Structure 1
Amino acid sequence: MSFIEKNLLTNEVIIYRANMHWIIFLNTILYLLLSLITCAFSFKQTEGSQLLLAISLLALLFALISGINSFIRYKTSEFAITNKRVLIKIGFIQRHSLEVLLTKVEGIGVNQSIMGRILGYGTIIVTGTGGTKETFDQIASPLEFRSQVQANL
């Protein structure tokens, strides 16, 4: 059972769920590509082939660490809109969560870079009454998340 399902109120139902975007795995992909390229060049038995092999192994180690970190972040992040609240939880050991009643949401801001617009990810900024602002990065379909909040106000 997820964090959000465990924290539902009486008669509260989930209307919309969102996830992190796959872009959080971009560093892992780039490290893997660097590892493959340097590994391919290291087989040419040249003077620097030992150095290239070491760089390849180092890039592979970075890819592994980055991949594990991104996978944990992807699996432990939850975004939901219910008929009563906006619920967001990110993290496993170090947890960041937000629970705002829909009636207390003043606005949902969306920031997207050019790449974010092309690939469909961005940052959402949840503003509650009293001026509290919470920012969440690399969310898939942030405009849909905002539309769902606004449709249920």
Structure 2
Amino acid sequence: MAYVKNTLAPGEAYLYRAHFNWTYDVQSWFWLAFSAVPAGMWIEAAARHYFAHEPFGHAYLFFAGAAMMLGAVIFFSRYIHKWTTVIAVTSLRLILKTGLVARSAHEVTLTEIEEVLVRQTFLGRLLGYGVLSVHGTGGARIDFPVLGNPTRVRREIETAMMRARGLSKQNA
């Protein structure tokens, strides 16, 4: 959000910010919980002294620890991606900024957008998520991550495009 506010031109207004769908959080928590299952099983077995003198217990401990570490890495990398991704519509531009240490920003002027495509699967329609793809003049293309309520995001972009071009819905 600070990136967008710091790059606003004089007279440019911040209009809308898109968000990830709730299913993104569910997937992140699933990976953390799924990776905790082997660790929980090992803790249970260790508490009952099942692996007291078996080499299998040490191998399983290694597996459980590796699974937990992998799950934690997936969980935190997904949340860092979510926290550092900004999808914003201003009165002049459409912005997709990603990255924590290294920043990648894709911006397209609203007057140069040719089409906004929404792709939703059947499950995406039921759960309210989809993917947006914006095509601009000169072959510019921005593919957005999975967003919540992509039809509203498209409507916000198209409304801002009409305002930027000096059109109103009555004239269109």
Q: Which range, TM-score by smaller chain?
A: 0.7 to 0.9
Point out where structure 1 has 5 or more consecutive residues left out of the alignment.
none
Q: Which aligned segments of 4 or more residues in structure 1 are displaced greater than 6 angstroms?
A: none
C-alpha distance in structure 2 between counterparts of 1:14 and 1:138, whole Å: 22
Counterpart amino acid of 1:86? L
Structure-1-length-normalised TM-score: 0.83
Q: Does 1:90 align with 2:98?
A: yes
**Do the aligned partners of residues 39 and 99 (structure 1) sit closer, same or farther apart at CA in structure 2, a change above 3 Å counting?**
closer
Q: Is the 8 A contact 2:34 2:71 kept in 1?
A: no
C-alpha distance in 2, partners of 1:88/1:67?
Answer: 22
Which structure 2 residues correspond to residues 113-132 of structure 1 after superposition, within 5 A? 113-132=121-140
More helix by share: 2
Q: How many residues align?
A: 153
Q: Deviations over 1:19-70 (max 9, x none)?
A: 2334444554333333333234433427765554433322210121112211
CA-to-partner distance for each residue in 1:57-103, whole Å, 9 max, x for gaps?
22210121112211211111111111221112111233221221111
* Deviation of 1:124 (Å): 1.1
Change (3 A) 1:84 1:31: closer
* Other-structure match for 2:147: 139
Tell me the residue number matched to 1:30: 30
Given that 1:14 and 1:82 are in contact with CA atoms closer than 8 Å, whether structure 2 keeps it comes out as: yes
Larger mean Cα displacement after TM superposition, 46-55 or 66-75 = 46-55
Using a 3 Å threshold, how does the CA distance of structure 1 residues 94 and 107 change in structure 2: closer, same or farther? same
- In 2, distance between residues paired with 1:60 and 1:73? 20
Identity of aligned residues (%): 27
Give the TM-score, by structure 2 length.
0.75
Q: 1:5 is matched with which residue? A: 5
Which stretch has the larger CA shift, 59-68 or 116-125? 116-125
Please say which structure displays the higher CA radius of gyration: 2
1:27–1:66 contact (8 Å) kept in structure 2: no
Aligned AA for 1:120? G
Q: Flag structure 2 segments of 5+ consecutive residues without an equivalent.
A: 163-172
**1:118/1:57 Cα in 2 relative to 1: closer, same or farther (>3 Å)?**
farther
